[in-house]
């Protein structure tokens, strides 16, 4: 297998990135450790969390930092995730910088409070180790937990490597706290696949992280007794709609904040972040769109796909909320066929959540691209090399009109 | 006990009607210095200003107070860009300008002859609608009184009755 050199597109972007900060240390970390490490460097005022597999290692590791006095964080050990998120909202309302982490059923138990956090405009940062939602009970990776929360008003960032989780957690602090955004941010990383995978992470010096995030900038604080205020009053038909409209607006501001913070983080770390990552897309005839660790797997297979004489590319979507509609159109409308890989099913819908976004974006833009959907990896089912090759082969047939687009299932036993 | 209360309420309702008559007579007479309560007891010596709402039970909408913003027609309310984010109320003490009196179906009527000014009603009222001056109950703020009936329930002297709203407001 002869691996070609990186082509233009995102590869060039990586090359153009500035040199990493002095004092950067390369550490071997698992995804969960990387989140805990980023949290240690952020040193939030309050962390309220409840353990759940596979997120447990995040809070375990972080509680060690608390016990060792490495952070000044008030760690609130609560009796459930509902209480964890409630405590986080209270602390954010008090003006604190707040972080937490969860997975699957824990996220589901937070449901009510997720919406409240977003509507109170509390910039909480939460790492979500993606895990399948019960039932039947399963502890392995899929995106059914965070996809269900896609309309809760949180910014949602998906990470595809251990280093990306680390970087995303740090950036999330700045994004959520940006003026005019003030929204909570979820940073997703695939349960076990990333959370328990040991990888090389270029850890920034503590001081760099601190100067990058700066001090907490609360707009309002319940503890500011000179300016008393009310959080959470009754908001009926005469004002609720306006407050929801404000949240739509905040997401629009988030688009800019994410770009700005990504660029600035690039200056500090040498690693640039945008809405997406494009691999071999410039001359691509067919392309795959994916989130999370699978995007990394595909990225590694692209040279082989090119060796098969398939002009295939990859669009790795980093942000699911706000969704990079314009970028999707710009990067994919010249391709003939696109396959969208979803690690969650939307029962009764016309495909998975990512597919719906992509196909809507291209359809509304009037693109001629054929869009097809693959549901894969539910409950931690592996996605293999063969599966990915099959997707690209299907795409070439689709581009020639020999296969119809539709929703297909990768790796399920028929 | 319930029957006893009911009797008291009936009695007070009758007194309310009586009181209203008294007030009408007084108004017709031109002398508006003295207002009367439901029970015909002198409650206040303040002259009623034009446009100020009164009721036959000695309660009033505070002078010069307009209907709260929240009750105005849709077009007059601020748009989504002009209100604090997240439904926060950033100005303290504005519950005072919000009319909760519009929820009421029954209004409290105080029989000042029975009242011992123990102020239980004042302590229990969830809205601070019992008006007290110099340690004495002087009336009810109907702009805020939501008609919950807690005052009537708690009054040890059964001096408060909840009377049908239609009979007690919009006298003028
Ligand atoms: S509780 Fe009854 S007796 Fe006591 S002050 Fe109020 S009305 Fe008067
Ligand atoms: S009815 Fe309720 S709100 Fe009105 S004065 Fe009595 S206790 Fe207060």
Q: What is residue A195's predicted lDDT score, i.e. its pLDDT? A: 98
Evaluate: CB of B147 within 6 angstroms of ligand 2. Answer: yes
Q: Is the peptide bond before A250 cis (omega within 30 degrees of 0)?
A: no
pLDDT at B170 exceeding the cut of 70: no
The closest CB to that of A230, out of B79, B85, B88, belongs to: B88
**Encoded tokens for A389:** 């090759």
Chain B interface disruption, residue of A221, A242, A253, most B CBs within 10 A: A242
CA proximity to B102, closest of B128, B70, B132: B70
Exposed/middle/buried for residue A12 (C-beta within 10 Å: 0-12, 13-18, 19+)? exposed
What pLDDT digit, counting tens, does each position of B29-84 carry?
A: 333 333 333 333 333 333 333 333 333 333 333 333 444 444 444 458 899 999 99
Q: How far apart are CA B172 and CA B167, in angstroms?
A: 12
Evaluate: CB of B151 within 6 angstroms of ligand 2. Answer: yes
Q: What is residue B40's predicted lDDT score, i.e. its pLDDT? A: 33
Query: Chain B: nearest CA to A85, how far in angstroms?
Result: 17
- Which domains does chain A carry? 25-269 (3.40.50.970), 276-410 (3.40.50.920)
Evaluate: CB of B108 within 6 angstroms of ligand 2. Answer: yes
pTM of the model: 0.80
Q: What is residue B89's predicted lDDT score, i.e. its pLDDT? A: 92
Evaluate: CB of B110 within 6 angstroms of ligand 2. Answer: no
Mean pLDDT of chain A: 94
Pocket test for ligand 2, best of B55, B98, B130, B139 (most atoms within 8 A of CB): B130
Question: What CATH number labels B101-164?
Answer: 3.30.70.20
- Interface touch A242/B90, C-beta < 8 Å: no
Per DSSP, helices labelled H in B2-43 are 2-29
Q: What is residue A156's predicted lDDT score, i.e. its pLDDT? A: 98
* Angle made by CA atoms A169, B87, B143, in degrees to the nearest 5: 160
Percent of chain A with pLDDT over 70: 96
Write the ipTM. Answer: 0.86
Query: Chain A: nearest CA to B132, how far in angstroms?
Result: 27
With residue A75 as reference, give the H or E element that holds it: strand A74-77
CA proximity to A358, closest of A394, A328, A333: A328
Place of tokens 């680390």: A166
Instruction: List the single residue in B with minimal CA-CA distance to A120.
Output: B86
Q: How far apart are CA B158 and CA A201, in angstroms?
A: 76
- Spell out, as residue ranges, where chain A has pLDDT lower than 50: 1-15
Beta carbons within 8 Å of A128's beta carbon, 6+ residues apart? A55, A101, A102, A103, A107, A145, A146, A186, A187, A188, A189
Tell me the domain boundaries of chain B: 2-97, 101-164
The closest CB to that of A238, out of B70, B80, B92, belongs to: B70
- Interface touch B83/A239, C-beta < 8 Å: yes
- Between strands A407-410 and A370-376, the pairing is parallel
What pLDDT digit, counting tens, does each position of A261-319 carry?
A: 999 999 999 999 999 999 999 999 999 999 999 999 999 999 999 999 999 999 999 99
Q: Which residues of B touch A241 (CB under 8 A)?
A: 80
Q: What is residue A282's predicted lDDT score, i.e. its pLDDT? A: 96
Query: Chain B: nearest CA to A208, how far in angstroms?
Result: 32
User: How many Å lie between the centroid of ligand 2 and the Cα of residue B170?
Assistant: 18
For chain B, say whether A121 makes contact (Cβ under 8 Å): yes
CA proximity to A19, closest of A202, A186, A253, A238: A202
CA proximity to A19, closest of A295, A268, A270: A270
Q: What is residue B167's predicted lDDT score, i.e. its pLDDT? A: 54
On whether the CB atoms of residues B125 and B151 are closer than 8 A, the answer is yes
The closest CB to that of B87, out of A219, A228, A235, belongs to: A235
């Amino acid at each position: 297998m002869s691996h070609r050199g990186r082509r233009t597109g995102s590869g060039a972007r990586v090359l153009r990135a500035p040199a990493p900060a002095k004092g950067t240390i390369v550490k071997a970390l698992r995804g969960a450790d990387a989140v805990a490490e980023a949290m240690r460097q952020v040193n939030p005022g309050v962390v309220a969390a409840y353990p759940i597999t596979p997120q447990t290692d995040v809070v375990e590791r972080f509680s060690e930092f608390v016990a060792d006095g490495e952070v000044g964080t008030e760690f609130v050990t609560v009796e459930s995730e509902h209480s964890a998120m409630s405590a986080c909202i209270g602390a954010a309302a008090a003006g604190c910088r707040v972080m937490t982490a969860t997975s699957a059923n824990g996220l589901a138990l937070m449901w009510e409070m997720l919406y409240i956090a977003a509507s109170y405009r509390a910039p909480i940062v939460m790492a979500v180790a993606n895990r399948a939602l019960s039932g039947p009970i399963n502890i392995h990776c899929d995106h059914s937990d965070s996809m269900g929360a896609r309309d809760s008003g949180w910014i949602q960032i998906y990470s595809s490597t251990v280093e990306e989780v680390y970087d995303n957690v740090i950036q999330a602090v700045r994004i959520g706290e940006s003026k005019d955004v003030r929204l909570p941010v979820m940073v997703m990383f695939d349960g076990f696949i990333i959370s328990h995978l040991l990888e090389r992470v270029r850890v920034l010096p503590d001081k760099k992280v601190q100067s990058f995030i700066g001090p907490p900038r609360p707009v309002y604080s319940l503890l500011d007794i000179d300016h008393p205020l009310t959080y959470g009053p009754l908001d009926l038909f005469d004002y609720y709609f306006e407050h929801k409209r404000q949240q739509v607006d905040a997401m629009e501001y988030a688009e800019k904040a994410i770009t700005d913070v990504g660029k600035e983080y690039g200056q500090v770390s040498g690693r640039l972040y945008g809405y997406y990552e494009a691999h071999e897309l410039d001359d691509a005839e067919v392309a795959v769109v994916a989130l999370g660790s699978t995007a990394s797997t595909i990225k590694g297979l692209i040279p082989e796909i090119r060796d098969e004489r398939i002009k295939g590319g990859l669009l790795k979507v980093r942000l699911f909320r706000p969704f990079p509609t314009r970028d999707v159109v710009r990067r994919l409308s010249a391709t003939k066929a696109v396959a969208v890989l979803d690690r969650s099913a939307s029962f009764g819908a016309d495909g998975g959540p990512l597919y719906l976004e992509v196909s809507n974006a291209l359809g509304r833009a009037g693109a001629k691209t054929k869009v097809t959907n693959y549901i894969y990896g539910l409950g931690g089912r592996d996605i293999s090399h063969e599966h990915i090759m099959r997707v690209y082969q299907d795409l070439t047939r689709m581009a020639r009109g020999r296969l119809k687009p539709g929703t297909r299932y990768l790796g399920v036993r028929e | 006990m319930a029957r006893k209360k009911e009797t008291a309420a009936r009695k007070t309702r009758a007194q309310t009607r009586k009181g209203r008559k008294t007030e009408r007579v007084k108004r017709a007479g031109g002398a508006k210095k003295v207002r009367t309560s439901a029970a015909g007891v002198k409650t206040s010596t303040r002259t009623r200003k034009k446009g100020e709402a009164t009721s036959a039970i000695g309660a009033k909408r505070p002078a010069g107070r307009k209907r709260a913003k929240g009750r105005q027609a849709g077009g007059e309310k601020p748009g989504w860009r002009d209100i604090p984010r997240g439904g926060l109320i950033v100005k303290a003490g504005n519950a005072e300008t919000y009319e909760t009196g519009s929820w009421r179906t029954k209004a409290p009527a105080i029989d000042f002859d029975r009242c011992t000014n123990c102020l239980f009603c004042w302590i229990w009222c969830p809205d601070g609608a019992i008006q007290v001056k110099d340690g004495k109950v002087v009336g009810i703020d109907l702009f805020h009184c939501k008609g919950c009936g807690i005052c009537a329930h708690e009054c040890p002297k059964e001096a408060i009755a909840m009377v049908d709203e239609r009979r007690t407001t919009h006298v003028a």
